[in-house]
Structure 1
């Protein structure tokens, strides 16, 4: 009888310890309370300068994440290609060595249909771009990026239109003959500038200033904020308002990093991304007139042109890229049909 009682007691004790052990294991492996207690410091990189709206938006995002997680998630922001160029940043997110990045067209090297977004004169205007990026098409683009590249698209941020800068006056496509223009490592950009008459030279943005300075290239194209913050006025004479791409930059996150955060931290990151988007977008357009004045005061001559001849040349490339695959065609048609 005594042995029986001892056996029952031992069994009860064993069950109790087992339950405690399960609880401890559960907390360590996945409960929000366990993860929320662990403070982490994450890295966010981008290629723009300290004064660029990208950097201001990134710092705001970091500030908001810190507030919303009560300090459990800290984000250090690295500007000016400190963590590498666009491709380096994306590969870093895939490996988990970079946690966040602001990247744009080079995403097409990791999920090809993103090249459609880089086609010159694809978006009719800013309103058209916003309806695409902040609607169903944008949500699908983020989902496809996650599936195909293991990179999580948090939010699209706006940029002012891409403009051409050169050391020669350009007012018509024939003026581009013989001009070596730096373009991002994006097939759509390369093909479009070739169609418009230039000699496109793909290279990382970190190499652009020195390449312009030494004459390796004659021209480049980017939004005004990046032109000014990178001091390209020091090595370029003319700013030509081609308005050829209404563009974006995407606030992205390593899916490996995301999966290590608690649900509360994940929610905080997503909420902070939305708020930072509103902040960055507002700055972009508020600064445009001021930036234009800065480059003029710095000695750049600003030239307004008739964009229709450039548009006609570039549009020949659109169908070529739209028909590369079913996914490309579906995306292209969705964008064109968005009203």
Structure 2
């Protein structure tokens, strides 16, 4: 069983009972061993990074060392958009990150950040682990030279500001940093704000200098990035639950035999993913309290008012998003 806990230092650690000295990585690749590169943008101590490491360890263990995942954390292979592009080009074998980045390749990436589509993280993962998830995976494979092996859980996105806000009227015209995604841009325009795409690494400085008035992210990101030093208020909008995608490029997939492919898919959709879901659930409550202790005012807004502002966005995004949205609402 895989579990994720908090250490005494407050760092998310993934504890695996299935490791052994025989599967320790070496500095060279023996004959008959297939090695896949995997890039992500998290630091090694992030819970998501620990889950990726656990996945890699289990792949190596179950393959008897014949299949290895070589992990490059902290954006060593580029940011999410660059690493995902590398999958299509064959310069990167695997990538794990926020699935909305797929908007640069396929309309499905807009669906994955459609606002107020799910009740909570459990509802979202029920959909992504079922028929809807398979339909999304098939469409991504059809539209891109990549394949999503699994969707992993991620906390809901919330808004931070330097003032309280309970309705869309309260954020009218405010400069809110958002990722570069057409659906996210349209969502915040519908809320009445002035969405401002910006690299996340520049956000804290922009907030401190007044170039931005707010930003939106999962609680874990708000906490780990130290945004409470520049933002006084946490507004629990919960407007998007965007899953993490674990993806592999077509070139890498074609190098694998059927057994290796099945192994990757099984482990990606196994106990590591489920352990991460347990962790995300517990972290949502803990982080809300921790950010409040850091001095942030926690506001519970009128979510229905925000939801009403984005009604009909799916239909305006085109047939792919409309079809997937209808499928989600029907299941």
Sort the TM-score into its range (normalised by shorter chain).
Answer: 0.7 to 0.9
Matches of 1:330 and 1:295 in 2, distance apart? 38
Which residue in the other structure is 1:284 paired with? 280
Please point out which of 287, 302, 308 is paired with 1:312: 308
TM-score by length of 1: 0.82
Secondary structure of 1:221 counterpart: strand
- 1:84 is matched with 78
Q: How many residue pairs align between the two structures?
A: 301
Q: Structure 1: which 4+ aligned runs deviate by more than 6 Å? A: none
Contact 1:47 1:205 in 2 (8 A): no
Structure 1 position 156, deviation (Å): 0.6
Is 1:208 aligned with 2:203?
Answer: yes
Question: Deviation at 1:203?
Answer: 2.4
Distance 2:133 2:268 in 1: 15
Deviations 1:286-328 (A, max 9, x none): 222222232222222221122111111122433322xx23x33
Give the alignment partner of residue 74 of structure 1, picking from 44, 47, 68: 68
Q: 1: CA distance between counterparts of 2:172 and 2:308?
A: 16
Which of 300, 315, 336 is the equivalent residue of 2:329?
Answer: 336
Q: Does 1:64 align with 2:58?
A: yes
What is the DSSP-based 3-state SS (H/G/I as helix, E as strand, rest coil) of the residue aligned with 1:153? strand
Deviations along 1:136-155, one digit per CA (max 9) or x if unpaired, are 12111111111211111011
**Distance in 2 separating the partners of 1:200 and 1:207:** 15
Stretches of structure 2 lacking an aligned partner (at least 5 in a row): 1-29
Residues 49, 226 of structure 1: 8 Å contact kept: no
The 8 Å contact of residues 315 and 321 in structure 2, kept in 1 or not, is answered as no
Flag structure 1 segments of 5+ consecutive residues without an equivalent.
Answer: 1-35
| Corresponding residue number in structure 1 for 2:163 | 168
Give the CA RMSD over aligned residues: 2.1
Q: What SS does structure 2 have at the residue aligned with 1:315?
A: coil
For residue 129 of structure 1, give the secondary structure of its aligned residue in structure 2.
helix
Using structure 2 for the length normalisation, give the TM-score: 0.84
**Cα 1:80–1:239 shift into 2, 3 Å:** farther
Tell me which residue corresponds to 1:272: 267
SS of structure 2 residue aligned to 1:296: helix
Sort the Cα spacing of 1:292 and 1:127 in 2 relative to 1 into closer, same or farther, 3 A: closer
- 292, 296, 309: which is aligned to 1:296? 292
Task: Look at both structures and tell me which one has the larger radius of gyration over its CA atoms.
Answer: 1
**Which SS does the other structure have where 1:220 is aligned?**
strand
Q: 1:52 touches 1:226 (CA, 8 Å); kept in 2?
A: no
**Shift in Å at residue 127 of structure 1?**
4.1
Q: Which structure shows the higher helix fraction?
A: 1
Does the 8 Å CA contact 1:173/1:197 hold for their aligned counterparts? yes
Tell me if structure 1 keeps the 8 A contact 2:60–2:69: yes
